[in-house]
Structure 1
Amino acid sequence: MKRDRVTSGLLLLAGVGFALLGQFYFTYRREYAQDGVFFWCAAILSFGLLLWRTRWQRSSRSARRFLILVREHPWRALLGLAGASFALLAGYLARQRLETAGFADLLWLWLAGVTGFLLALALPFSFGKARGRFFRWLRGNRVELAWLAALLLVSLLARAFDLEHIPANLGGDEGTQGMAALELLGPPLGNPFSTGWFAVPTMSFLWYGLGMRLFGATVAGLRATSALTGALTVLTTFLLARELWGRRVAWLAALLLACSHFHIHFSRLGSNQIGDGLFVTLALWLLARGLRSKNPLYFALSGAVTGLGWYGYFGARLVGIILALYLVWRLMVEHRFLTRYGGLLFLLLVAAVIVAAPLLLHFFQHPDRMTSRLQQVSIFTSGWLEREQEITERSAASLLLEQFWKSLSAFNYTLDPTFWYRPSIPLLDFVSGVLFVLGLVWATVKYRWPANGLLLVWFWLALILGWVLTENPPSSMRMTGIAPALSIFVALGLDWLARLTPHASRLTPYALCLIATLNLHYYFAIYTPTRIYGNPTAEIGTELGRYLALQDDDYVVYFHAPPRMYWGFGALRFIARGVKGMDVAEGALPQPDSARGARFIFLPSRLDELSVIRARYPGGMERPIYSDADGRLLYVLYEVRETE
């Protein structure tokens, strides 16, 4: 009892102290208002913990067990509090540090904080007992684990085979992210709690930079992280589906995702969109496990994954909204849901905030960067809806209905209009498209099942926010996070048919083989040779970059390409790192250094300038480069050797 009073007293003193500090900054140091907000947040957290302690007797049974655990193990509470403080401190110090300084120490401080917070919930941990349970579980599931390992290996092979050349083009955005990753790694290590190109969190560049440290700073090395992420998403999809719908649906969903041409494509790009599916399936699986077992660690891990998603692509930020809406739905349809899980859900929220805190502090300091991308692509904030109404003379309702149709029909009819993928078929193959509709209808009819409710919330929320309310749907790069949901819908449709009659059940393996064949054949045999990914400039940048990277000299490149293309194009910069080059404006005449060789590159739109350079520097080597996809002229190279 005395220890309880001491703890409550310390929380009260901490809350009052932080509140006084926050108000001091608001009143006397107004130019540092952000620091005042930080201290006030710490005060509110302290007061919240104090209130929680004083009202624990009226809390739910699950929350009461958690609080008893905290009261009986104060050192674990201290470890959790210290971990949360370290994570917050890392973000606070990152805001004070110059961008040119090193941030490795703050990254380790944040990692230590998050790890400490999670360990506080995992301990006490008996390695002996855990080892015994693990080997018993391994023996009992060895056959299924062997098949699962084989499936993951096949998934990885489909995503990692010849990454250097499939897709053949390196996209401009891929190259830009690759350069950002290399620059962030330094040395010194850049700020991982900031934002960079297109307001993308720099932490996502860090993952790809570490991947290139491991696999090499090549096109394949850049894309390797995505291939691993895509294969892991097959695993988390299996775990989620098995937890919610059982073993049969889990195997079907994992197999379908493993061979999905849509998911395979984005798993082979050096871009962070592919992480969306991993974040959402992992967070939902941990939440489902937590709701079933009432284990606080699962809730904390689900929150941690949700917070970590903020450091990835913008689509991963939907994970928190999906979780929130699903839990609100459970609260509305289940009696005493909040009573049973209230304390554990609060723990999930705390974990998410702790993990995302450094980036959230950055957004507080630069609020425009948090929503800048949304403002660019939203049909409302970008002005698209108003412009379209004026141009087409159609009503807003009619345009919104068209947006909805394009989005919903992306899996069966409407094609992706962007060069991020731009396939000649919908995002689902012919057979999967039919099964998807069946699965969607079945889940909708049985929406009161918690598993189906979760899947429907996930699908419709992502569809509306990711496509219906954004420009140019269905832009596939914004919806990689829905790929696992599509596979689950298809699996549910196939499972429903299989359960109708014994004859349909026997056809299931043949249906899976047909779907796998359709997807793999389309992607590798039909789509890949077209080199359509990344648009024509990506093909030019890739081919030119590969040629320049092979040249062992210090020639300067004079790029006669603007305004069609620029020397700073991402693919060109990444592949031909270290090659010196410059853009040549239309009509301008470059003045090469006679002591160094020169390479003049002419795009077809600027080809009339070649005669001027040929006359000024006669005797050069001229070489036209054509596309191996359709034979069109990509560029003309005119190479002049040094004269001194």
Structure 2
Amino acid sequence: MAAPTAWSPPRWESTLATCSALTGGSISSDRRACMSVLARSPTLHPMSREWTSINPSPFRPTEGWRRLIRGLRLSSCRSGAKNWRWFARRSRVVRWRRFPRPWAAPRSSSSTASRAGNSPGKIMSLPPAGSRPWPALLVALAVLLALLGQYQFTRTPQPLSSALLLFTLAVVCLLAAERLAQPTRGAEALRDPAAGEEGSAADLSRASALPRLGPAVLARKWRWVLTGVALLLGAWVVWALSRKPLPLNKSGPVVPWLLACALLVAAWGERPRTGRVRAWLSCHRDELAVLTLVTLAALGLRLWQLGNGPFTLSGDEGSIGLELRRILEGELRNPFTLGFGPFPTLSFFVEVVPAWIVGLNAWTLRLPNALLSTLAVPALYALGGQLFGRRTALAAALLLASYQVHLHYSRVALHVAADTFFFTATMAVLIYGLRHRTGPWLFVLAGLLAGADQYVYTGSRLLPLLIVAFLGLLVLVAPEWVAGQRTNLLVLALTFLVVAGPILLVAIQHPNDYNARINQVGIIQSGWLAREREIRHQGTLPILLDQFRRALFGFSFYQDRTVSYGSGGPLANAPMAILLYLGLGLSLLRWQQSGFALLSLWFWGGLIGGGALTVNPPTSNRLVAITPAVVLLAAVALSESARLLAVALDVHRPRRWALAVTLVVAVFLALLDARFYFQKYLPSHRFGGGEALIATQLGYDLARLSPAPHLYFFGPPRMWSGFSTLVFLAPEVPRDDVVEPLTTPEALDRLVRLDRDAFFIFLPERAGERALVARRYPSGEMREARSPDDREVIYYWYFVPRSALGG
């Protein structure tokens, strides 16, 4: 009698047995849970997902399951493939059994199933997406409605309500297309490795995760000891600054403050392992190469002809240059006070480094801001990759690299563009630490970035509010994000207080000076709202709604109302505005997803605080801090539309097709903005206003004269010779303003000095007084100075040498 053969379980039962052995459970109790775990891996066979869709069951992982999940989260790295091969060998998996999909379940009648060509063990596939045209038609309809909405802004009078209705319908069509396309095979294939279950908001995958660092440098008790020492040093710095006002020529407790920051980094830092870093770089070299090219392109756009593009040096830039000169000459040494703006002086000490190396001029004045704002591009890629996947992140990086508003403020010395780096980098680091629970070292880095941003610009005060609001929202809707993170969040708060402590002390001691800019432009603080109620004879609500409408539609219709940019049009081109409003609609409908929640808080907080609640919206320099959120919303709409089209058209490789379409459109929009800025905006010389253009041209003319003459300026009441740009470019030239109009040539005898050459400047409004000066000093030379585009005369000058003044 033949010996009985040993029973062997089915292959999927063998896999369950292996999972159960690893977790300490049984096959019967762990079958559904194990398949639920396997279904979460983006690289497993799709049949695992089909099994869980037939047999859904709630699953709460224990510690053993967490270890299994960490082992089964695969990446594109060699180590991930090796781990999967090991798991396959252990579980003797050769081929997965095919389970019917829920929508392809066989009919009850066997004859009907046989006529349809489906047996109980086979899949009844849906018709190809090409024969189901509704998703593609809805996407096309959404684009058409958005184009019509954008067209409404060009009509007179402007029906903003109809445009808003068209954009709302476009968002509804886009969501309907996604709902129809979701069950198709392409929908699964199109999900990014970073995409979550919805395919749009994402959790960061192992493929894009940073390399795990080594063990902690210090034991836990010594970490808290160093943290306590850092807190004591930070408290001592604040106490020393609060005792008595620190003179401007005294550096104060800078060294203890830097030491406190260094102790926090040393306390919670982790020692990197070069082997893991090299493996991570090897796995991501293609991705890093593409990101490097985009970053270098952004850097090139910001450094090309930086010194004379824009040609005008604005009054704010001239004032910042004067602050840097005070530092170089030793007059300003206190980094913990307020300077021009009022900006914290610590930012000036960072900006002065290039001027200290190669000299102070327009190029070195603008260089630090250009470099720092360029770093916002890779930071936005890191943030977008965690929230929405690599495809969306790459599109956002391309859009930000040449977005006209961000590009312009990156090429001038104003501090507003630096906020884009600090905002983006802080949120990217914070979200990565929350998702991956890497330990406190990332939270220390987030606290350092958020604290350092408080020394940059007035808009940086939105960043801590954004962090608190985002964490509060997570506590309400996704408490698992912050569960067990109390130590990390405490380290984040302590680091922020140590870094920002000195400037927070200034805000407490001198609130009027610290909030001077807000008191000047805020509609409530400045009394503008009360005056408008009397002028318009309207209530508060209609005025606030008008302010909100102007701020929101400043990206598509209303023109920028500041000379700091003043492009003559809205803050975005038409295709970018369409994508922005589509992305806004998606974010409002999906606000419970982490990525859209952050973008909603960021965009609406900045739009209301820097737009609707300030005078004369839209004002571009107050909205620069939200430009990363603007381009990321546009990139989300673009990427989602490309994904839905790929699903609807049933292309061969839908993910590659969607990536190609997204990148082509993103590059096209980037080229549109770059072309507009360099070929239309810069030649127009709108930046800074007419007075700044006069001061810049006159400053360069005076700097070329040697020895320096004495300037007699016939400019008041329109302009005065103390304009900061003129003082910055020609610091050695003595100046006198001729306020009263000349009536006789002899009046010059009481004004002109005989120790220097005389340089008379006449603005066009006072050009009639040239004849009196020429009659008194006939040996002089009369010329006119024209604008750089040679369209108009901006001033006249009359040069009289010293030898001809006594005649």
| d(CA) in 2 for partners of 1:336, 1:274 | 34
- Range 628-637 or range 190-199, more displaced: 628-637
| d(CA) in 2 for partners of 1:300, 1:223 | 30
| d(CA) in 2 for partners of 1:573, 1:155 | 32
Deviations 1:19-70 (A, max 9, x none): xxxxxxxxxxxxxxxxxxxxxxxxxxxxxxxxxxxxxxxxxxxxxxxxxx99
CA gap 1:454/1:579 in 2 versus in 1, 3 angstroms:
same
2:586 corresponds to which of 442, 447, 460: 442
CA shift for structure 1 position 353: 0.9
Deviations 1:119-163 (A, max 9, x none): 11115x2xxx52222222221111221221111111001011001
CA gap 1:513/1:365 in 2 versus in 1, 3 angstroms:
closer
Report if aligned partners of 1:307, 1:353 keep a CA contact under 8 Å in 2. yes
* Alignment partner of 1:578 is 2:578: no
Q: Would you say how many aligned residue pairs link Structure 1 and Structure 2?
A: 571
* Alignment partner of 1:285 is 2:428: yes
Give the aligned partner of residue 701 of structure 2.
Answer: 547
2:778 corresponds to which of 612, 618, 631: 618
* Alignment partner of 1:592 is 2:752: yes
Report if aligned partners of 2:395, 2:662 keep a CA contact under 8 Å in 1. no
Q: What stretches of structure 2 of length at least 5 have no aligned partner?
A: 1-215, 650-656, 743-747
| d(CA) in 2 for partners of 1:98, 1:309 | 22
| d(CA) in 2 for partners of 1:554, 1:376 | 38
* Alignment partner of 1:398 is 2:542: yes
> 1:640 corresponds to which letter in structure 2?
V
Deviations 1:283-305 (A, max 9, x none): 11111011112221112221221
- Range 192-201 or range 208-217, more displaced: 208-217
> 2:494 corresponds to which letter in structure 1?
V
2:795 corresponds to which of 620, 635, 638: 635
> 1:375 corresponds to which letter in structure 2?
N
Report if aligned partners of 1:226, 1:268 keep a CA contact under 8 Å in 2. yes
Give the aligned partner of residue 190 of structure 1.
Answer: 333
> 2:777 corresponds to which letter in structure 1?
Y
| d(CA) in 2 for partners of 1:352, 1:210 | 25
CA shift for structure 1 position 341: 2.5
> 1:564 corresponds to which letter in structure 2?
R
CA shift for structure 1 position 403: 0.4
CA shift for structure 1 position 608: 2.6
Q: What's the secondary structure of 2:253's corresponding residue?
A: helix
Give the aligned partner of residue 331 of structure 1.
Answer: 475
1:387 corresponds to which of 513, 527, 531: 531
CA shift for structure 1 position 412: 1.2
> 1:624 corresponds to which letter in structure 2?
E
Give the aligned partner of residue 109 of structure 1.
Answer: 256
Give the aligned partner of residue 308 of structure 1.
Answer: 452
CA gap 1:240/1:71 in 2 versus in 1, 3 angstroms:
closer
Q: What's the secondary structure of 1:86's corresponding residue?
A: helix
| d(CA) in 1 for partners of 2:374, 2:617 | 26
Deviations 1:261-283 (A, max 9, x none): 11110000011111111111011
CA shift for structure 1 position 545: 0.6
1:260 corresponds to which of 400, 403, 417: 403
Give the aligned partner of residue 600 of structure 2.
Answer: 456
CA gap 1:375/1:73 in 2 versus in 1, 3 angstroms:
same
> 1:557 corresponds to which letter in structure 2?
L
1:219 corresponds to which of 348, 356, 362: 362
CA gap 1:335/1:75 in 2 versus in 1, 3 angstroms:
closer
Higher helix share: 1
Q: What's the secondary structure of 1:566's corresponding residue?
A: coil
* Alignment partner of 1:568 is 2:722: yes
- Range 79-88 or range 412-421, more displaced: 79-88
| d(CA) in 2 for partners of 1:451, 1:336 | 16
Give the aligned partner of residue 229 of structure 2.
Answer: 82
> 2:795 corresponds to which letter in structure 1?
Y
| d(CA) in 1 for partners of 2:392, 2:377 | 13
CA shift for structure 1 position 189: 5.0
| d(CA) in 2 for partners of 1:71, 1:162 | 48
- Range 583-592 or range 219-228, more displaced: 583-592
| d(CA) in 2 for partners of 1:108, 1:615 | 63
CA gap 1:411/1:376 in 2 versus in 1, 3 angstroms:
same
For residues 486-497 of structure 1, the aligned pairs below 5 Å read 486-497=630-641
- Range 514-523 or range 105-114, more displaced: 105-114
TM-score under structure 2 normalisation? 0.68
| d(CA) in 1 for partners of 2:430, 2:737 | 52
**Higher Cα Rg, which structure:** 2
Report if aligned partners of 1:300, 1:348 keep a CA contact under 8 Å in 2. yes
| d(CA) in 1 for partners of 2:537, 2:282 | 67
Give the aligned partner of residue 502 of structure 2.
Answer: 358
Give the aligned partner of residue 377 of structure 1.
Answer: 521
Report if aligned partners of 2:702, 2:708 keep a CA contact under 8 Å in 1. no
> 1:327 corresponds to which letter in structure 2?
L
2:290 corresponds to which of 142, 147, 151: 147
CA shift for structure 1 position 313: 0.6
Deviations 1:302-357 (A, max 9, x none): 12211111101111110001111111111111246654323322221111111011
Q: What's the secondary structure of 1:340's corresponding residue?
A: coil
* Alignment partner of 1:122 is 2:305: no
RMSD of the TM alignment (CA)? 2.0
Report if aligned partners of 1:215, 1:224 keep a CA contact under 8 Å in 2. no
Q: What's the secondary structure of 2:326's corresponding residue?
A: helix
CA shift for structure 1 position 97: 5.8
Identity of aligned residues (%): 33
* Alignment partner of 1:414 is 2:558: yes
Report if aligned partners of 1:81, 1:117 keep a CA contact under 8 Å in 2. no
> 1:610 corresponds to which letter in structure 2?
R
> 1:208 corresponds to which letter in structure 2?
E
CA shift for structure 1 position 177: 0.9
Q: What's the secondary structure of 1:622's corresponding residue?
A: strand
